Amino acid sequence: MTVALQVQQLAVSYGDARALSGVTFDVAEGRALAVLGANGAGKSSLAAAIAGVVKPAAGSIRLRGTEIGGSPPHRIARLGVAYVPEGRGIFPNLSVTENLRAMLRYAVPRSERAAAVDRAIALFPLLGERRRQPAGTLSGGEQQMLALARVLAAPPSILIADEMSLGLAPKLVDLVFDSLARAKEEGVTVVLVEQYVKRALEYADDAVVLRQGEVAWSGRASEAHSEALASYLGAKGLESQ
């Protein structure tokens, strides 16, 4: 199996506070990795470090053999990494169309960008109706459609998705997972940070459980039995699945 993403001994600190230390795992080409853990375990810090939004304090992040740890986000995006941060990462004052253009900026060459924006809008007709509206006036679900549309219109080589289903109604959570499944079918390698442990494990091939910034468990998602994970995730991790 070819390794798409290799994280070794990764550490992230905020001032004196260490959010991640000694984090090591691989993601094979075309597979999906679920990153699980209780609040504050370091999941978002890991996603942000891979995307280049947070600089690692130590360790290495390799994308198909190329070191990307500490590279700026736009350079990492150019290498085919799409990052959907918690909170969706949209620009509230820009219109839906302008958001898509901005999101696709590093993923699609200029000459193909307009076509990609049209493709994104065709995927979710509701976005078409709102194409001139500032994205900040969209509902949470519509904003998430915008993030999904970007991913599906120009499938990245690696998708780093941080809590895409956070705060969404069940129907929209289904839409998120359907879209993630579609991305995977297209061969996208996925790193998925999720609060819905059961769904994340059903979707993913592999899983990593973080606890206080360290890898507490890693293995096949199918072997990550919920009961065993409960001790790592805390009470909240498995509620209302």
Q: Which residues bind ligand ATP (CB under 6 A)?
A: 14, 17, 19, 37, 39-45
State the minimum distance, in angstroms, from the CB of residue 16 to ligand ATP. 10
* Helix residue ranges, H only, 124-225: 125-129, 140-153, 170-185, 197-203
Tokens standing for residue 92: 């509230």
Least distance to ligand ATP, CB of residue 30, Å? 25
Residue closer to ligand ATP (CB basis): 16 or 227: 16
Q: Which is nearer to ligand ATP, 17 or 235 (CB)?
A: 17
CB of 132 to ligand ATP, least distance (A): 33
Residue placing its CB nearer to ligand ATP in the complex, 14 or 91: 14
Nearer to ligand ATP, 20 or 221 (CB): 20
Q: How many residues does the chain have?
A: 241
Nearest approach, Cβ of residue 233 and ligand ATP (Å): 10
Least Å distance, CB 84 to ligand ATP, is 14
Stated as kind and residue range, the H or E segment containing 235 is helix 226-237
Nearer to ligand ATP, 9 or 222 (CB): 9
Question: Nearest CA to 143 among 160, 157, 163?
Answer: 163
Distances (CA, A) of 3 to 45, 62, 112, 138, 178: 22, 9, 29, 38, 25
Q: Which is nearer to ligand ATP, 86 or 98 (CB)?
A: 86
CB of 19 to ligand ATP, least distance (A): 3
Which segments of the chain are extended strands (E)?
3-14, 17-28, 32-37, 58-63, 66-67, 81-84, 158-162, 189-193, 206-211, 214-220
Among candidate residues 78, 85, 87, the one with its CA nearest the CA of residue 135 = 87
Q: In what order do the strands lie in the sheet with 66-67?
A: 17-28, 3-14, 58-63, 66-67
Would you tell me how many other CB atoms lie within 10 Å of the CB of residue 66? 9
Query: Residue 142 or 194: which CB sits closer to ligand ATP?
Result: 194
Shortest reach from residue 54's CB to ligand ATP, in Å? 8
> Which one, of 230, 156, 208, lies nearest residue 187 by Cα?
156
